[in-house]
Amino acid sequence: MFDAGMYRDAAIARSFRVRQEDDGRGKKSYRWSWDAVIRLRLTEESPMLRLSGRRDPATPVNGRDERFRRKTAASHPHFHGGVRKADELYARVVEYAAGRPLSPNDWERFERQHNPDMRPPFRGQLMSCLATRREHEMAHSLLEYAEGVAGGVTRTLLAHYLALCSTEQQADACLRRILESSGGLLDSQTRNLVVKSLCQTPLWKRATELLDEPEAAPEPVNAVAVACFQHCDFPAAWDCLERLRRSQQPLRIFSSTMEACLEAARVLAQSGDRLRRGVNSVDHLLMYLASCSHGPLPSSLVLSLSSFYNEVGLCDRCGRRLEMHGLSDAEWEELRRGVMERCLVGDDPYLSSNPRELAKFRDFLEHASAYDVVLDGLNVALSKGSASQRDRAQQLLKAVQYYAVNKKQTVLLVGRKHLLQWPADVMDRVWKHCLRYLANDTSHDDPFVLYAALHGGPGTLVVSRDLMRQHRFRLSDPRLQELFMSWQQTHQVEWRGAPTSTTVSHKVTVQGSSANGWHVPHAEENGTVETSTVVQWLCIAPATILRSSKSV
C-alpha cells in the first residue's frame, strides 16, 4: 500500500485524490488515484525533473486535481510546467538587482521570495543562468551568499561557477573543491557539467582527463571538441570526433562543433601561407560527415560553409584564388569624407540630419571606446517582420548577443529614442552588451549607421539589410560610388534572425586571362551584382590548368 506519510508536507498528502468504488457486491473499496500520486511525487521529491505525471487522456480530469496542479506550478516561480524557463528566472534577477550589486542579504530576500522552501537546487539554477550569460559579478556574490547558507554550496553550483573562472588559479581552486567534496568520484551528470565548464576556462585541456568513460555522453565530447578547435588543437579535436563516431549511433555532432571547426579553418586560411591548411580542415570535416552518413545540415551551417570558400576566394574547380582587394588608407579617408559631406550634410531635408544632432553624434564617437560592429538597431529588430515590441526587442537581443557574447566583439547599436519604450526586461539585457546611440525619432538613423561604420576604421563591420542605394546615389562621383560598393562588399552583412550573408575580401568582378582562365560572377537574370550577396562564380579554365590543380 502506498504510504502517504513518506511526504514531508502533510498538506500535500491530504491533497491526494481517493476514489471510492463499488465492487458490485454492495461493498465500498478505496483506492489511491495514481495519477495524482505520480504528479505530486515528481513535483515534491524531484523538482528538477521536467516530468509532471502525465494523465492518461482517457482518464477524466478531476477539478480538484487540476486546481492543485495549477496551484503547485504557481507556487514555484522557477518552474515552467514543473521547471521555470531560465531566461524568465534571469529576467527576475535583473529586475530585482536594478543595476546594483547584490549583497548576501539581497540574495537571501530574493531566494525567500522565489524559493520559500530554500531548496539547494534553486541556487544551482540561478548560477546556471548567470554563468550562461557571463554575469561574473552576480555569480560571485551568489557564491558568497551560498557559502553562508547551510548546504548552500553544492557541486552543481560550483560546476556552473567553474565556467566563469578566468584564470588558471581560479579554475584550479574551483575544480579541486568540486573533486574534494565528492572524494574524487563524480556522478556522470556532474562530470559532464564540469567538463563543459572547464572547456570555457584556461584549463580547457584538463577536460579531456575527465572523458575517461568509453562511452561518454555527446554533450561533453562536443564541448571538448569545440575548445580544441577554438585553440587550433586540430589533432585533439579530430580525436573527439572519432570518439563520437565510435560511441554514438546515430552520430551526434553538434552544429556548434562544426561552426568551431569552420571558424578555426577561417583563421588559418586568412594567415597567408596557411591557406591550404585551412581548406584541408574543412575538407576533413566534410569527409568525416560523409563517412558517418550525416544527414542534412542546418541552413546556418550551410551558409558558414559557403561563406568560408567565398571569403578565402579559392576556386574549388581550378584551385586558383580570386584577386583580393581592400581600401587603402587614402581611399578609406576619401570615402569617409565623401560620405560625411554628401550624405550627412546637404540640402535635402528628408535625407539630411539636424546639424546639432550631427555634432552631438560626432562628439559621441570621438569619446566612445573602440568598437568592432555597428548594428542598425531598427533594421535588425524588424528583420523577421515581428509585430510586437517584445518580439522586436528579442530579435535585437539575439543579434547583440551573437556578436558581443558569441563573437566576443564590441558592438555599437545605433537606433532611435523610442527603443527606450520597448520592454525594459529585454532592453536592459541589450544595453548591457553594447554601446548605444539613440537619435531623435524625427531623424533618419541610416546615415548615422553609415558614418559610424566608416568612423570605426577599416576593421569595422556594419550589420544591416539596407543596401543604402540612396546614399550611394548621393555620392554622385563615380569613383566614390565604386569605393562605396567595394566597402559594402567587404564590410556589410545582413541579419534575418541570424547572419544571412557574409563579407568578401576579393573583387566581385570578371577576373583572369586567356592563359590562366576566367572567373565570372553571376546573379539571377533579374538580379544585380552588389554588396556581398553574390557567391556564384563561373570558372572557365583551360584543361591544362584543371589537370595541374587535380594533381596537387
Q: Domains in the chain, ordered, with CATH?
A: 4-74 (no CATH), 86-268 (1.25.40), 329-493 (3.40.50.11980)
- C-alpha grid cell, residue 504: 568578401
Q: pLDDT tens, 386-427?
A: 668 888 898 899 899 889 988 889 999 999 888 998 988 889
pLDDT of residue 493: 85
pLDDT in tens, the chain (552 residues): 334 333 333 333 333 333 444 444 444 443 333 333 333 333 333 333 333 333 333 334 444 444 434 433 333 333 333 334 677 888 888 888 887 889 989 999 999 998 888 887 888 889 998 998 888 889 999 999 998 887 778 899 999 999 999 899 999 999 999 998 888 788 888 899 999 999 999 999 999 888 866 567 889 999 999 999 999 999 999 999 998 888 766 788 998 999 999 988 888 876 655 777 888 898 899 889 888 888 888 877 877 777 676 666 777 677 777 776 667 888 888 888 888 777 766 555 445 556 778 788 888 998 888 999 999 988 888 877 666 888 889 889 989 988 998 888 999 999 988 899 898 888 998 999 999 999 886 667 778 888 898 888 888 999 988 888 887 888 888 888 888 888 887 788 888 766 655 566 666 777 777 777 787 776 654 444 444 444 567 777 776 666 565 554
Judge contact between 186 and 192, C-beta under 8 A.
Answer: no
- Measured in whole angstroms, the distance separating CA 107 from the mean position of its chain's CA atoms is 28
pLDDT of residue 271: 65
Instruction: Supply the angle between the helices 255-269 and 299-312 in degrees, to the nearest 10.
Output: 10
pLDDT of residue 28: 41
Contacts of 422 (CB under 8 A, 6+ apart): 389, 390, 392, 393
pLDDT of residue 527: 42
Long-range pairs for 508-517: beta carbons < 8 A, 24 or more residues apart = 508/534, 511/322, 511/323, 512/540, 515/542, 516/320, 516/541, 516/542, 516/545, 517/318, 517/320, 517/541, 517/542, 517/545
Judge contact between 148 and 104, C-beta under 8 A.
Answer: yes
pLDDT of residue 101: 87
State how far the Cα of 7 lies from the Cα of 299, in Å rounded to an integer: 49
Residue recorded with cell 571538441: 225
